Amino acid sequence: MLTSVETVGLPLPSAEASGDELFKLGLLYSTGQGGAPLDYVSAHMLFNLAAMRGSVEAKLYRKELSQEMASEDVAEAQRQAREWLAHG
C-alpha cells in the first residue's frame, strides 16, 4: 500500500478547499510532481473530495485511477476521504 497524504508529502488541504483546489492537489499526487510523492491512494482521496465539491474532472480522474489500483487501496482512499470530512 502506498503512503497516505496524512504522513508524507504536502499538508492536508483545509476544510474550506474548493473542488478545483482539491483536484489540483490530486493531480500532484497522481503524477508525483510539485513536491508530492507518487501516491495513488492520496490522489484518489483528493479526487473523491474534489468530486464531492463539484469537480467534474475529478470524477473522471478518480474513475480512471481506480482502475489502476487494487481494491483494498481504493477502500483505503475512501476511508481517508471519510476521515478528512469528519475532521474537516
Per-domain residue ranges for the chain?
19-87
Q: Max Cα separation, the chain?
A: 30
Instruction: Judge if pTM exceeds 0.95.
Output: no
What's the pLDDT band for 4 if we cut at 50, 70, 90?
very low
22-81 pLDDT per residue, tens: 999 999 999 999 989 999 999 999 999 999 999 999 999 999 999 999 999 999 999 999
Residue 48 CA to residue 62 CA, distance in Å, equals 7
What's the pLDDT band for 88 if we cut at 50, 70, 90?
low
Q: Are 48 and 77 in contact (CB under 8 A)?
A: yes
What's the pLDDT band for 11 if we cut at 50, 70, 90?
confident
Exposed, middle or buried by CB within 10 Å (0-12, 13-18, 19+), for 10?
middle
